[in-house]
Amino acid sequence: MKKVTAIITTCMLIISTILVSFNMQVMATEAEFYYVPNDPGYKSLSAVLTAIGAQNAWNITKGESVVVSVVDSGVAIHEDLLLLPGYSAISSLLPNQDTQGHGTGVAGVVGAIGDNEIGTLGINWKAKILPVKADNQSGTLLIANIAKGIIWAVDNGARVVNLSLGSLTDSPTLKTAINYANNKGCVVVAAAGNSGKNPVEYPARYPNVIGVGASGNGITREAASNYGEGLDVLAITSYYTTSASGGYSIMSGTSFSAPQVAGLASLLIGLNPELTPEQVKDYIQRGASGNGVRTDQIGYGVINCEKTLQLMLSEMEDTGDIEEIVSNVYEIDEVGGISYIENIEEETTVGTIKNSLALPTKYTIEITNIDGVTLTNSQYAGTGSVIKVKNQAEEIVKNYTAVVKGDITGEGEVNIFDIVRLTSYIFDENEGFIWNKAIEKAGKITESGGEPNIFDIVRLISYCFDGASW
């Protein structure tokens, strides 16, 4: 028995060695692999990263080259940070002069370089940090300087701005700067405050800002973290991060919870640059532990990086894939931004169309008739029906107008839809209209050939309603 045990133990040691050599670790409880970076500070952060789903998120992406601005006390030059040339709102000071050490710590949480065998690591290992110094020599932050810093950052390429600062007083100047950032497609993340009071501070309280509180256990709110109106999500209160001295230290408070969310926002944007600030905020809220339910105590819950990224990727609208799938089943024509599915056989049911298209599960199909009434699977999708492809958010990502085989295009019964389409063709002079051979077909109506004209419509109407011959 001892011999068998020894053999098993030896095998386990060999397996462990192989896993470590590939920088992989197996989670026995979840039966899955996640990437283990070689930064010495990883051990200090393991529990934090697990609590916010960052480790599993790195199976999706280990970093995205997105510009994140830290508007703060400046960001010191550090070997573990990828810094861009910054800006100081105080002309006598430089953006890399961080006497408070606050901004450098915030920057490390966002994007300390991961897997480089030194120091610590941030949420986005490849983030480009754009430092903005907004405090004066005594460490005081003035609203005017913060606002100037935000606008400068946005004008110089920032897609995310982190504001680990706050005030109980609303400011039109600050609000204007944040609105400017949002209108330019920049996500703004701010700390909720550390007084344990209701509500959260400004600018976190603004609806177009992601307000971030702190959690010590990855479940509930830290007592010192502000709550109430404006609280969107929580992140972990303490983080082992970069310091202005060139070393590393543990820093705590909502100031260091907020950049965890800023890092996540930058990963989302890196994977899908077309995302708006509103969409980024929505994904982060829906991906959090509250499963879409908000309370004043925890907002939408603790962030989950992996779930948030997966949610966004599952809903990415790749209409090119849809087009390819549909074109393998039906002919597609597009005119003036309207797409048509042609050559659907008569008496084809809605259910048959859905099954034949067989789109990925992240899409659903809804078919309505000419009057906008949703058709059941057993009903027929006649000419003029609209085939709507929706994503998981119930948003329409693609519309097609159904065209039953026959009608003006070929061997079918002429009806009112032909008149509408032929009228459109003639008076809109739309050569690329749905029927590729419209001129030829229309000419045959009068049996005289030639370009379609008003007489074709008159004769067509007569045929439809009077049963007369040509």
pLDDT tens, 369-405? 877 889 999 998 877 788 998 876 677 888 888 877 6
Residues 95 and 234 grouped into a single domain: yes
Given the residues 164, 225, 255, 257, the one annotated as active site: 255
CATH at 189: 3.40.50.200
Active site residue 102: yes
Residues 20 and 84 grouped into a single domain: no
Q: What string of DSSP letters covers 387-442? A: EEEE-TTS-EEEEEEEEESSGGGTTS---HHHHHHHHHHHHHT-TT-S-TTHHHHH
Residues 77 and 88 grouped into a single domain: yes
Q: Which of 405, 433, 460 is the last residue before a domain boundary?
A: 405
Look at 428 and 84; give whichever has higher pLDDT: 84
Give the range among 325-329, 443-447, 459-463 with minimum mean pLDDT.
443-447
Across 231-240, 313-322, 405-414, which has the greatest mean pLDDT?
A: 231-240
Q: How far apart are CA 123 and CA 60, in angstroms?
A: 13
Residue 429: count other Cβ atoms within 10 Å of its Cβ.
Answer: 8
pLDDT at 335 over 50: yes
- The confidence score (pLDDT) of residue 361 equals 66
Look at 186 and 18; give whichever has higher pLDDT: 186
Residues 27 and 147 grouped into a single domain: no
- The confidence score (pLDDT) of residue 382 equals 77
- The confidence score (pLDDT) of residue 468 equals 44
Structural domain tally of the chain?
A: 4
Q: Which of 358, 374, 405 is the last residue before a domain boundary?
A: 405
Residues 10 and 99 grouped into a single domain: no
Tokens standing for residue 333:
């024509």
Given the residues 39, 72, 232, 418, the one annotated as active site: 72
Largest CA distance in the chain: 100
Q: What are phi and psi of 332, to 5 degrees?
A: -120, 135
Question: Which range of residues forms the domain containing residue 379?
Answer: 319-405
Residues 72 and 204 grouped into a single domain: yes
User: Using one digit for the tens of pLDDT, what is the confidence trace for 406-452?
Assistant: 544 444 454 555 555 555 554 544 444 444 444 444 444 555 555 55
- The confidence score (pLDDT) of residue 145 equals 97
Q: How much is the average pLDDT of 164-184? A: 97
Residues 49 and 165 grouped into a single domain: yes
Residues 183 and 240 grouped into a single domain: yes
- The torsion angle over the Cα atoms of residues 96, 140, 182 and 239, rounded to 10 degrees, is 60
Q: How far apart are CA 207 and CA 205, in angstroms?
A: 6
Residues 376 and 428 grouped into a single domain: no
Q: What are phi and psi of 358, to 5 degrees?
A: 45, 55
User: Using one digit for the tens of pLDDT, what is the confidence trace for 10-61?
Assistant: 333 322 332 333 333 333 333 345 678 999 999 999 999 999 999 999 988 8
Q: How much is the average pLDDT of 258-285? A: 95
Active site residue 385: no
Q: How far apart are CA 455 and CA 322, in angstroms?
A: 40
Residues 207 and 62 grouped into a single domain: yes
Q: Which of 315, 332, 363 is the last residue before a domain boundary?
A: 315
Q: How far apart are CA 175 and CA 154, in angstroms?
A: 14
Cα→Cα distances 235→49, 51, 204, 230, Å:
10, 9, 14, 15
- The confidence score (pLDDT) of residue 392 equals 64
Given the residues 39, 69, 102, 385, the one annotated as active site: 102
Active site residue 296: no
Residue with tokens 């109430």: 228
Residues 283 and 323 grouped into a single domain: no
- The confidence score (pLDDT) of residue 370 equals 74
Q: How much is the average pLDDT of 113-127? A: 96
Cα→Cα distances 266→55, 125, 143, 175, 334, Å:
16, 10, 25, 22, 36
Q: Is the peptide bond before 199 cis (omega within 30 degrees of 0)?
A: yes
The set of residues, in sequence order, having a beta carbon less than 8 Å from that of 370 and lying 6+ positions away, is 382, 384, 385
Q: How far apart are CA 246 and CA 265, in angstroms?
A: 26
Strand (E) or helix (H) holding 270: helix 254-271
CATH at 426: 1.10.1330
| Prediction pTM value | 0.67
Residues 435 and 390 grouped into a single domain: no
Q: What are phi and psi of 436, to 5 degrees?
A: -60, -25
Q: How far apart are CA 468 and CA 453, in angstroms?
A: 19
Q: How far apart are CA 64 and CA 271, in angstroms?
A: 7
- The confidence score (pLDDT) of residue 44 equals 92
Cα→Cα distances 240→104, 106, 252, 331, Å:
12, 10, 9, 58
Burial of 373 per CB tally in 10 Å (0-12, 13-18, 19+): exposed
CA angle 430, 432, 434 (to 5 degrees): 100
